[in-house]
Amino acid sequence: MAVLIAAMALTPITAFAEPVKSNVRAAKVVNTAERRVIPARSGASRVIANMIPTQAELDQIEAQKAAEVAAAQKAAEEAAAEQARIAAEEERIRQERAAAEQALCDNAPINIPTVANRIAHPYMPYKAVTSRGTVQYKLLHGADAHSDASTGLRMVGERYCIAIGQGYGLRAGDKVDVVLEDGTYIKCIVGDMKAIVDTDPTRKYQNTDRNVVEMIVDYRVFKNPNQYLTLFGGKKVVKLVKAADF
């Protein structure tokens, strides 16, 4: 009897103890699940928070945009100013050429400075012009160019090749008549331009001997100036006339 009573006394304790353990395990599972969910919610909050820029970052973005806009405006203004400068320079050149062409039209004479040595007529070899891309080179080495057998002068067609200063408004390839004091016209063509450093401030005559017209020769035929000086007959050059057939 005593054993039975003892067994009955112990049975309720065991029966009630097991649910308690189950409740404890359930509590642990719930708590574990909560711990798993809560960090996930906290991480998402941090991600969302990181996606929202601060006011300082917004200000920095706006400042960068403003700087880019200002740089673009400055570049556009500089480009417009450069285009305006180029257009003004082109217009100046166009007006200068138009004025020079107007002065040369209708066979208008080009006067030669009285201080120039209008009798001296030095020479230069046509092969001294070596820049293949220039008008001068193409003219002096072209199909129409040849050398006079008696004078050694380089010619294009029926015109003698000469070099003159840049102050007369003429350019390489222009046909011009050299007029002597007795009214003789010598048909010439501008084969080269005198270098600015070699001419006077007006760019119309040579610094050294003040000559105006420089003959272009072929050393294969040319030996000395006496071969062509008969063309001038010791007479002065009084003017240049741009030919009408240019």
- Alpha-carbon gap, residue 137 to 142, rounded angstroms: 8
pLDDT in tens, 67-103: 999 999 999 999 999 999 999 988 888 787 666 655 5
pLDDT of 38 reads: 44
Q: Residue 160, SS3? A: strand
pLDDT of 77 reads: 93
pLDDT of 50 reads: 65
This prediction's pTM = 0.56
- Residue ranges of domains in the chain: 2-52, 56-106, 110-242
Q: Which residues pair with 235 in a beta bridge?
A: none
pLDDT in tens, 40-51: 445 555 555 567
Contacts of 154 (CB under 8 A, 6+ apart): 126, 140, 145, 146, 147, 148, 160, 161, 191, 216, 217, 218
- Of the candidates 242, 203, 237, the one whose C-alpha atom is nearest the C-alpha of residue 109 is 242
Stretches in the chain below the pLDDT threshold 50: 1-10, 13-41, 106, 246
Fold of domain 110-242: Barwin-like endoglucanases (2.40.40)
The helix or strand, by DSSP H or E, that contains position 190, with its residue range, turns out to be strand 185-193
Q: Are 198 and 211 in contact (CB under 8 A)?
A: no
- Alpha-carbon gap, residue 76 to 79, rounded angstroms: 5
In the block, tokens 């405006």 appear at 73
What one-character DSSP code corresponds to residue 227? Answer: H
